[in-house]
């Protein structure tokens, strides 16, 4: 797993990715599936006015098709592998018998080849990463405080950008300061909502933690079709991005910062872990950690030697940096804030057997 460490690199990557993006909106009755003769990948074929366009569908897009057609994923995958004829028959039946307009989001992978990366409805609002770069990044220079780029990532399904505000800093305990910041998260393929959240970075180890959301929006807009003008789509998008700009400005709210710092300071007090192995097992079960993740949390907890709730949540955020997926890293960082905001009673049940 690697993150993007400079803003210039991020911008270059976003522009390059956007240049390869391609969307097609079509009636499902004009679609069919087939198998690539060489790779055995699933191809989605769409008859257009000019030609037949084919897309090699990735696992994420196939999962969306399975859900949309009401075919259980386990059975969908089994047919795809073991009964190709039955697979095509089932898919074609529901494409034709329950017609809809669907958007295929794809990436150009060669001169005439495309990978289908998402299967979405005709009401899907395209809040693309290039729009974040064009509409929100310039706002960092207008926030009225210093903004320091922390890191970013573009995974197969999501986009992340983190920045901190050096002027907004506080020690949670002596010698342990944190900085306030912001995270912008997005998915171009229907794998999550667009959201702006506050972000806390622990300075002694640069562990990050995602805290309360400032804005969260589903990718749902006006139904795309022949009766919706380009002007209407542009106006709708403009209103959305203006709201996102205002919410980004709210990320530096001092009251929000002070409230979060009070919560974190409170985690240094109260019930402490008395049996690290048992507590880690309970935490792992509560937060659905893998065995490897559980071991990483225990290692971080024991190495730091801080058995307070503050120590536990930092064990999670430190362990998050050891996983292979940036998506999973962020999930574990969100767990850190969840631990911070548990009631004392709930925390005690996890910390002490």
pLDDT tens-digit profile of 232-249? 778 888 899 999 999 999
What are 17-45's pLDDT values in tens digits?
A: 999 999 999 999 999 999 987 778 999 99
User: 203 - beta bridge partners?
Assistant: none
Residue 48: phi and psi, rounded to 5, are -110, 180
The three-state secondary structure class of 184 is strand
Question: For the chain, which domains are there?
Answer: 21-121 (2.40.50), 129-251 (no CATH), 267-351 (no CATH)
For the cut 90, the answer to whether the pLDDT of residue 132 exceeds it is yes
Predicted local confidence at residue 50, as pLDDT: 85
**Cα–Cα distances in angstroms (integers) from residue 339 to residues 165, 317, 351, in the given order:** 24, 11, 11
Would you tell me how many other CB atoms lie within 10 Å of the CB of residue 236? 13
For the cut 90, the answer to whether the pLDDT of residue 309 exceeds it is yes
**Cα–Cα distances in angstroms (integers) from residue 277 to residues 300, 307, 317, 332, in the given order:** 12, 11, 18, 19
What are 252-302's pLDDT values in tens digits?
A: 999 999 999 999 999 999 999 999 999 999 999 999 999 999 999 999 999
What are 137-188's pLDDT values in tens digits?
A: 999 999 999 999 999 999 999 999 999 999 999 999 999 999 999 999 999 9
Cβ atoms of 237 and 224 within 8 Å: the answer is no
| Region of residue 85 (phi > 0: left; psi between -120 and 50: alpha; otherwise: beta) | alpha
Which residue has 């494409």 as its token pair?
95
For the cut 70, the answer to whether the pLDDT of residue 103 exceeds it is yes
Average pLDDT over residues 1-6: 80
DSSP state of 2: -
Stated pTM of the model: 0.92
Parallel, antiparallel or unpaired: strands 194-202 and 52-57: unpaired
């Amino acid at each position: 797993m690697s993150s993007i460490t400079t803003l210039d690199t991020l911008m270059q990557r976003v522009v390059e990715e956007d240049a390869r993006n391609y969307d097609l909106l079509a009636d499902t009755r004009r679609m069919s599936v087939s198998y690539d003769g060489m790779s055995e990948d699933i191809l989605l074929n769409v008859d257009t006015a000019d030609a037949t366009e084919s897309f090699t569908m990735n696992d994420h897009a196939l999962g969306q098709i399975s859900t949309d057609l009401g075919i259980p994923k386990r059975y969908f995958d089994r047919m795809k592998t073991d009964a190709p004829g039955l697979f095509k028959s089932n898919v074609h039946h529901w494409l034709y018998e329950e017609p809809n307009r669907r958007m295929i989001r794809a990436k150009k992978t060669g001169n005439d080849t495309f990978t289908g990366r998402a299967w979405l409805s005709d009401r899907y609002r395209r809040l693309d990463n290039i729009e974040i770069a064009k509409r929100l990044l310039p706002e960092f220079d207008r926030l009225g405080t210093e903004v320091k780029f922390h890191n970013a990532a573009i995974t197969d399904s999501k986009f992340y950008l983190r920045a901190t505000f050096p002027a907004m800093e506080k020690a949670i305990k002596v010698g342990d300061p944190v900085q306030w910041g912001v995270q912008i998260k997005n998915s171009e393929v229907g794998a999550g909502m667009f959201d702006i959240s506050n972000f806390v970075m622990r300075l002694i180890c640069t562990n990050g933690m995602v805290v309360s959301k400032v804005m969260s929006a589903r990718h749902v807009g006006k139904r795309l079709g022949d009766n919706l003008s380009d002007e209407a789509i542009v106006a709708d998008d403009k209103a959305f991005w203006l709201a996102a700009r205002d919410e980004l400005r709210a990320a530096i709210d001092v009251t929000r910062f002070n409230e979060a710092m009070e919560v974190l300071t409170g985690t240094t007090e109260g019930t402490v872990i008395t049996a690290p192995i048992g507590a880690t097992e309970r935490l792992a079960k509560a937060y659905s950690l893998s065995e490897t993740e559980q071991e990483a949390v225990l290692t971080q907890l024991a190495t730091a030697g801080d058995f307070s709730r503050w120590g536990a949540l930092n064990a999670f955020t430190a362990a998050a940096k050891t996983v292979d997926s940036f998506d999973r890293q962020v999930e574990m960082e969100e767990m850190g804030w969840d631990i911070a905001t548990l009631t004392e009673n709930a925390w005690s049940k996890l910390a002490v057997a």
